[in-house]
Structures are given as structure tokens and as C-alpha cells.
Structure 1
Amino acid sequence: MRIKVLLACVSLTALAACASTPPSHVTVRGPMSINSPLFGARSSYGQFLAGQAALRDGRSSEAAGYFGTAAVLGEDPGIIGERSFTALLLAGDITRAAAAAPVGEDSTEGVKRLGVLTRVVESLAVGKGKDAQLLLTTQPLGFPHQQVAALLGPWTAAAAGDKEGAIVLPTLRNDKLVQYFGQQGQARLFERAKRYDEAETDYKALTSNVATASIFTLDYGAFLERRKRHDDAVALYDTALRAAPGDAGLVRARARAASKGAPPPMPTLRQGAAEGLVACAAAFAGERQVQFALAYLRLALRLDPARDEAWVLIGDLLNQSQDPRGAIEAYAHVPQSSPQYVSAQSKSAWAWNDAGDKAKALEVARAAATAAPNDREAQVALADLLRAGSQWSESVAVLDPVIARDGENADWRLLYLRAAALEQADRWPEAERDLQAALKINPTEPELLNFLGYSWIDRGENLAQALGMVQKAVAARPTSGAMLDSLGWAYYRLGDYKTAVEKLEAAVEMEPGDPDVNGHLGDAYWKAGRKIEAEFQWRRVLTLEPDDKQKADSEAKLKNGLGPTGPAASKSTAARN
């Protein structure tokens, strides 16, 4: 199943308040041995701070070790208990987290609620359905866990043997996520109860809704296959494939149904409960509530360790949190037999790139692209990594067949990516062709307007038209320093140096570390007769890690000033947002 964020969740409080940040001179490299001579009166607090730092950096397993040592050394048991619970939960050690869940009156209410949820999940995981249902009904979870409490209710009832409670449709006022995933859960529980007509009514409602059809088609199709209605399943998959051609999961499902192969088994109670947790985790991720999302995903994997989309989402969250190694480890859990394998490998390639191993990144990306030559995501990931590694022509070669397959239905984003590589490869006429084609598809896209507009301005072509294009781009993205730089550069090329200075000064405020933007402002100052300020800006460029051309241009301008028309600008600003 492919999780989509169906709605925006309310803002959430942090899992637990952070302690003070350790002083900058304190360096902790790992949990010390309890027998170390360095232990002293403040050692427990040092371990606590180290645990805080590890937890803040996403090193949850390491954090749990620090907090455990701090507890042994006598740090405040209430605070340590909460931090240890949080670290164990985020590390995926749900059994120990459930045992450590805070329950005392001195514990934070939010952490206690998360502790109840953890104990509910652990009870389900070990087959104690009655305990799970009792916890959920006698200790209401409250904010921000109302959604997952509603979705888990029927599954805990089913695990407890409560047949009537199992088929109750969960509701939460004005909550689409609970409405849709609650109805999916009800369909599955109806099927378990052999109430097939009622199950199909739920599935038809979900797949006839434009907002949810793509999410639940595979579930409905699997239900039809289990009922040996293979022709109906094929027709359902064909309809979905017209909207999402090439979707790996749908392609596999259709082939299986057409050959009357063994259908996917009916989900277990644990798997059904896990799906609700993953749906809520995706909603938290959409709200950038990373710790809650990770906690829910770890809980889901306690119930269903083979849930591939949970591992992929964990990888995504860890990579966004600057933990590429953790992301790589998460993506590695997705097996080659999974429809999400290629996507996981493509994302893993980017994680390797973020970790600084560009050779490994390309190796993984090439393997994924070779394994799935018709998979767009795999090909685009490879092309983008090649472009990031300045292998412009190779990037274009990967994108060519992908774009050609689309024909008249080409994706403007792919045309944009190819144009960026073509421009850097000094194949401007081809890049210009792609940008113009992309603008016909999406004429108001700021990225396209800025890219083509700036490129024309830089070449002294179509200046009036280009000015209008970058003005539209800036109106759409007024906080983009690069687009404002394009606008300032347009006025510079048109000879309106006063307006150019005004726009470029604003651009530098937004992009103070960009060599191009600073260089442009220096040029505009010079033309406006403000030569001391111009020289200051050119010297500043030399402090901003300029490339060879930017460095040479600035040094030449510091030596000789500007000629009648000024130097050509660097190409790197055009395709930046």
C-alpha cells in the first residue's frame, strides 16, 4: 500500500522537553565504562547530557545506553525514565520501551500517553488482545493520539474476541484520515467475519472516491482475487493503470490476477493494526513532526516487521534528519521481491551521496536503474546523481529514453532536469528547446520562467520578454534570492543600474553566501558609480568558495574594473530556486 498524507494534522508538542545543551567544550564520544576513573560527582549528569545529544542527533540506540548509565549513577529517575523510554522507542526496542513506559504522577502527561500506546502495541504483538483493548478503553490516549486510538480500537477489539466491537466504524469529527483508513479497516474486518458483501461495499466506496482510489485499489483488488473474481480484479487494476501507467505494484498485481496466481493473504490482526499506525505516521511526517512519525513507524514494525513502506518512510525521515547512514540501513530492509525495492534503492543512492560516498551512490543508482529500465524513479535518480557529479552528457543520455517514452505527454519536470544538464554541457539550443517545451506544458511554473528568463538575460537575448518572465517568477516566489537576483540582473542588462542595485541588494540579503549574487551586486555598484562598494563585493566573492571561473572573474574585476558591458555571468544561477 502506498501511504499518502490525506490531511494536515494539528501542530504537536515535542515528545519530551530537552535539557540544556552541554557546554561547547564538552566532548562525549561514547558511553564510558562504569569502572572508568573519569566517573565523578558529575558523571551521571555528563551521561545524561550525552544521551540528550545522541537523542537529538537521532542516535536513539546510543542514547538509550547513555541514559541507562546515568540511571545507574544516580541521575533523577523521573527524567531519566522518560528519556530512556523515548530513546528505546525511537530505536525500535518496543518490548523494553513498553516495560520502561512512565506511569507515575511525576511523569509528563504527553510521555505517559505515548507510553500507553506503546504498551497497547506490545500487548497486541505478544497476543494479549484483551490487555490491549483494556488499556485503550480505560486509559484514553488523548492529544495528539486520537487518530491512532480510533483506528486501533476495532483491531484491539478483534484481538480480544469482541466480535461486535471489531466491526464498529471508527470516527473522529472532521478527520478524513480516520474516515478513510477506518473504512479500510472495517472492510478487512468484515472480510475476516465472512461478511463479504459489507466488505465490498466499503472497498467500492473507497475506490470510487477520487481522493482515495489510488491508495486502496490494491487492497480491493486483493480482496477480489481472494474471492476468485480474477476478471473483476484485472478490470480494477486496468482502470488504475490508466491513471498511473507503469506503477510497479499495479503491474505486478494485474499480472498475478490475469494468471490466476495465488492472491495476497488476508492481513492478520497485527498487520491491520500496523497499517493504521503507518497512516498516522505519514500524517505526522507531513507536518514535520519527525519524532512522532518515527515512533509510530517503530511501533508499526513491532506488529509487522516486513512492512516495506514503513522502512522506506523511516529512511526518508532519517535522511531528512541528516542521518544518511541510518537511512541506508532502513532502506536495506526492503527486499528485492518488494514492489518498493527499486524506490528504496534509488533513495539509498542519494543517502550514500549525502554521506559523502559519491562512487557508492552511483553504483547503487546504476544497479537500481539497470534492474528496472522502465521505472521512472530509478532512471531519474540516476540522471540526477550524474548531474550532481557534473557528468552532464551521461545524465542527458539517461533522461532521453524516459522523455521519449512519454511522447506528447512529457513531464515538464523531466524536461527541466534535462535542460539543466544540457546547459551545463554547453548544449544551449537543446536546453532552450526543452525549456520552451516545458513552459508550454506549465506556463506559470516559476522555476521554468526563471531558468529560461535568466538564460536569455545572460546572453543578451529577448530582454524585454525575459524581464517579464523573471518578474512573474519573483511575484510567485518573492522569498527566492536567486529569482530576485535574476530580476536584478535583467535590469542591469537593460542599463537601469539604480533598479538593479535595489533588487540585487535585496537578493544578497536573502542569499548572503552566494558568489554569483554578490558578484552581480558588485557589477551593479560599479555601473552605478559606487566603485568602493563594488570592490568590496568582488573581494567578498573570493571568500565564498567560488568556482574557478567566479574567482578569475572577481580577480580580473578587482584589477581592471569593468569594461563597457561587464563580464558574462556564471551559468549556475539560472537553474537555482
Structure 2
Amino acid sequence: MSNLLRYRVGLVGLLAFGLTKPALSQDEPQKPQAESPSSTAESPDVKGYQQQESDDVALPLKPLVPRSAAITARNEALSWYMTGRLLDSTHRNEPRKALNAFRKAVKLDPEAVEIYRELVPLELQHENLEAAVRYASKAVQLDPDDVEILQLLARQAAISGQLPEAIKHLEQAIKSPRILKTSPEYVGLNKSLGLLYAVTGQKESAADCYEILFDAIKDPEKYGLDSRAKKSLLADPTSTYERIGQILLDGDRLKPALEAFELAGTTRQGAGNLAYNRARVLLLSDKPEEALAELQKYFDAQRTSKGRDAYRLLAEILEKLNKSDELIGRLETLAENDAQNVALQYYLAERLTDVNELERARKIYDTMLQSGGDASGYAGLARVLRKMQKSDDLLDALGRGMARGEEAIASLESEVKALAEDKALVAMLIESGRTRAKAGELKLDEAILLAKLAAALKEADASEEFFQLALSLPPSPNRPKIATQIEFADTMARLRKYRVAAEAYHEILESGQLTEKGRAWTYFSLTQVLTRDNQIDKALEAITKAIQLDDDNYEFRLFESGIYTHARRWDEALLKLEQVMTDFPDVPEVITRAQFSLSNVYVQKGEMRKGEEILEKVLEMDPESSQANNDLGYLWAEQGKNLERAEKMIRKALQAEPENPAYLDSLGWVLFKLDRIEEAIPPLEQATQNSFGGDATLWDHLGDVLLKAMQTEKAIEAWQTALEHSEEENSPDVELMERIREKLKQHGAQSRPKPAEKGSP
């Protein structure tokens, strides 16, 4: 449709509803002037509308039946919709106004799917991903067969790492009656869905999809694929056929997999890999001897394209033949004849490390890294040095590896995680780092590493010490200062050094290096630490700034209500929760979370029945809600009522989340109330083990149950632990602490003395 024709269609639509012109250059539509007695149709002074002087005067129509509020809203929505279309199509330099117009339209008529189809791409264009996904989800509710919107949702979910959600959307799209099973669109959907299945380990489903893709490549006319479409699918024939073969092989489709590998082998690039791929098929066909002979052809050609996978395949074949003891010898022979093959040399070093041939393995790593071998070798070298307990050399190797960039850092992650389990070695590394710092020899990446290791051991002071050292050193291309500042602030928040974290977030905000959204999220992080530090007024200031920067982010709005709840300002919390539900009526997650928060506020406020009523309404809408079943069951258990029903509800919640410590605590507590003491102990013990935060209430409940079971000493231990956890909290439950102290006093026990703080005599 031409711009002129589109404008005429829009203008006719607007005039049909009594509007004189679209608001092309305003954020708000022009409101009709209020009628006065002198401007009615009966008045001789009425001006009306004439395009030319000779035209009859067009007078405003006065409907016999006044429009309803719903019709008026729809009409106004249509005007904003058409305004948005005009701004988006004829005024390319005004996409923001078009976006605002569509937003107004959808608020007025949230059931019009056409508005969402225009709005979602604009939200994405402006990088408003959360809003785009929210509107797209609503569009799919209105039209479950909208393939384009479903694909958009799948793409955004995949980008966000929510692969199960992406798969769900593509599965819905591929079942749409608008998709013909002999169409190019069907082939494309199978390709995308098959890839996601493969990534998430759903091998059979991935193979199903890729069989369709393979069939389409072999018989493009069957699926209506023209030459351009087929060329697009086979942009790189070698990798495409190999990927198809791999996925079919993983799904035990051996015959079509071999066919795909053979097609890959017809290209010059793929010919060298054919022996390797044939060996894999032969092994899965239970022909290990033939597989070994075929794989040897790959080795004889000194191919390197398959990297370590070729040597892993050799290990599998030898294991199948009960000849695993030959592996290192065969690898050494290959390595002697191919000294520059990095993957081979590293794989040999790994196997030597496995059998504690540490000096030989270290020599290989040192040689390859000195000659420019890829940075993943630092992870192997670090493993060797860790096993050798050489802290100075280990710190040097880890630092050099981290300095090589993101790829090397990623390869080091598993080794650093293993290292964090060895507290004695970490202590040695920290002392080595302090010695280097005093001599002015500590490097940036070494300081960052030591800060992380100290944090992993919950050594907050040491972590802060090395982060501060890192910030005092010159930044590197791989590690700009802002990245270190962010990691420092987040780590201090996690270690409960809230004042230090708040100061770090302030410095980040003052750096001038953040985008608008980055500033919004940093204010949100600042809000969280200020809240936990009970700086309520400052927390409210910070969350207000976050909301001003991103007023469409419901996460900020929900947390704002949580600040008031934390401060026990119940009425203000309730107002904020009601407001967020009003502002996000079409976002189920917001409504659900707000309802649970409302219930919690009423309960804490002492209005128990109101809290129960909200949960009862949630269960009417969603009887399977695990949180609602647990929360209501726990409230009843606390009051000693409806106990049998409460037990059933809590068990239902646990079926959905069997490891949830809160649900386990609820079960133990309701069993205690039912006087089933022996049954109550195991879930409460499991709850205390599963709780990351060491919730004092869980330990208090366990103490009460153990006392009833005549296990007084264990009960005292549980109460003492509960008291310790309470004292660690920034906003402890004072009443709970007093109750625990009274219990300890009644049984002739005291709370454990606090450990002396650093610097105490």
C-alpha cells in the first residue's frame, strides 16, 4: 500500500468515528471541544466543515443512541492505532511517537491483536525487550496460531537463555494450522526447533526435526523450496551435512546419518573428515575393529579439524575393545609424529595428569604454551600445579591464563571452582598474592582471581582487599575498570558488606560509562543493598530513580513495595502493590507475585483472615499453584486449624518442588501440629540443609520438634543455631530472638558466644 493510499484509508477511518484529523505531530490526540448551546446542529451560527466554498456544509452527526464507554474506548484506540501507523510509515524519523501512539491504543483496547502486531516490533526496535515479550505474549493469547509472533517470542527466549520457553513457542508455531507441512516455513521451523532440541539434549526430537530438514534438502520441490531457498539451507554444505549427520547419529538414525556424512565427504573440505565420521557410525553399529581401522586413516592424514574429539573417539573404541591400557602409548606415538598438533598434545597431557604423571604433563603444557599454543592449556597446567600444590607457580599460571581473554577465562572456570574446594591451597595463594602486592609485582588478573577465590570461601575482608588492589592497578583491554567495579560491588553485596557495596554502586553510577538501562539496573542493585542495610529512605530514593529511568519495568515496581514491607510500613506497601496490579493488568506474573505479597503483608500486619482470603482466591484460579498451596497450608498450621487439609496442600506443593526448604519446613510444622512428631523431624532436618540463607525459623521449628521428641540436647543445638542465624541478619526478627533465648534459658542453656571480631584482643 502506498503512503498516500495508507493516509487516505487512515483518514477515512478517523473521520468515520467523528474525528477531524489524526494527531500526526502530537503525543496526545486532539480532544473535541465541548459543545456549547450555540454550536448545535439547530443553531444558525454553526460553522460545520467545507472543503470548498461551493460544498454543502458537513455538520457533526448526533447519534440517536449515545455510544457506550467500551465503544468510545475502541474508537479512540483505533484513532491512536491509525496515528501510529501513519507516524511509523510516513514519518520515519518519528518512531518514538509511533510507539507512544500504539501504547495508548493497546491500553484503550487490550483485546485488539492488530495493535500488538505493530507494537511488538517497535518495542524491539527501541530495545524494550521486556515490554516486547509482554505484548507478544498477550498477542499469542488472543491469537494462538500467529506464527510470526510465536517465532519472535521464541527468538527472544533463546537470546535470554530460556531455551525450554523458546521450544514451547516453536512447538506451538509448528502446530499452527496456518503452516503447511510441505512449505518452506515448515522446513525452517523444523531447523530452528531441531537445533534447540539438540542443544537441550532432546536427541530423539532433534533427529525427528532434522530428518525433515534433510528430506527437504534432498527433495526441495516436495517442500516448495526454490533454488535460492535451498542454497540458503546449504550455504556451507560441509558443515550443514555434518551437523545433520551428527544430530541424526545422536538420535540413533544410523543409515541417514551415514548418508549425510557421505554427502559432506563429497566436498573437498569434508573429504578429510569422512573417515572420522565413518568410524563413529561403525562404533555405534557395534563394529569397533572396523571403526579403529577407519579412524586410523584420519590420523595417518594428520588431520586436525576434529580437535580432541578424534582422540576421545579413539579412547571410546579402545574401551569397547578392552584395550584402554593402550591409549597413552598410541597417543604418544601420534604426538611424536605430529609435534605441532596442539589438541593432540593437550589431550595426551590430560591423560598423563589422570595417572599422576605430573612432571611429564607439565613439560608438555609448558612447551606448547611457550610456542603459542591456545590458551585453554592454562587450565590443564593449572590442574597439574594444583595437584602438585605449587601455589606460586599456580598463581602465575592462572594469572597468565586470565590475561589471555574471555576464551581462556571460560576454560579456567572449572579449574578455579575445583581450586576453591581446597581451602589450604587457597590460603597459600592468598599469602603469595599479598607477598607480590608488597613487592609491587601483583598483576591485575591475579588480584581479580584472588578476590574471587576469597569470596568463594566467604572471606569477605580478603575479597575486598584484593578487589581494592585490582582497582588500584591499571586496567587492561580485557578488563576495563568498570567491569572490575561491577564485579566488586556485586561480590560485596553477596558477602553482606552492604556499606562497601553501596559505595561501589555509587562510584559505578558516577563513572558516566553506563547506558540508561544500565543506570536503571545499577540503581536497582543499590536499592537492594540499601534495603538490606536498613537505609530505607535512601533505598526509596534509589528505586525511584530506577523507575524514572525504566518505568515499564515491573520488577522495580514490585521491589518498591517490598521496601515498604521490609520497613513494616504496611499501608504504603499495600498501596504500591495495588498500583502495580492496576498498571500491569495483563501480565500474569505481576498479578500472581503481587497477590502473594499482598497476602504476606496482611499476615504480617496481623490481618490473618485477609491474607488467607487472597490465597484462597489464587487457588480458585489455579488449584495447582504450589506456592499458594504451601502458603495457605502453613498459615492454617500456624493457627492449628484445617490441619488434615493443610497437610494435603503442602504435600501437593512438595510434589512440584521436593527440595524447596520452605515447603519442607511447612510439612514438618503441620506434622508437628498433628502430633506426628517422628514424621516431622526428617523434613525439618532436610529444610535446614537445603536452606541457603540459614533461615532462623527453620532451626527454631526443628528445635521445638526435637524437644517434643525428648531429644533435648539436639533441640538446644538447633535453637542456638537459629539464634546465630538471626544475629547475622541485618533486620532480625526481634520477637523470634527473644522467644529462642527464653527457650534456651528454660533448659539451662545459653546462646553460643560470638567469635571475636578481627582485631579484637
Name which structure has the greater RCO, CA cutoff 8 Å, separation 6+: 1
Q: TM-score, normalised by structure 2?
A: 0.35
Structure whose alpha-carbon radius of gyration is higher: 2
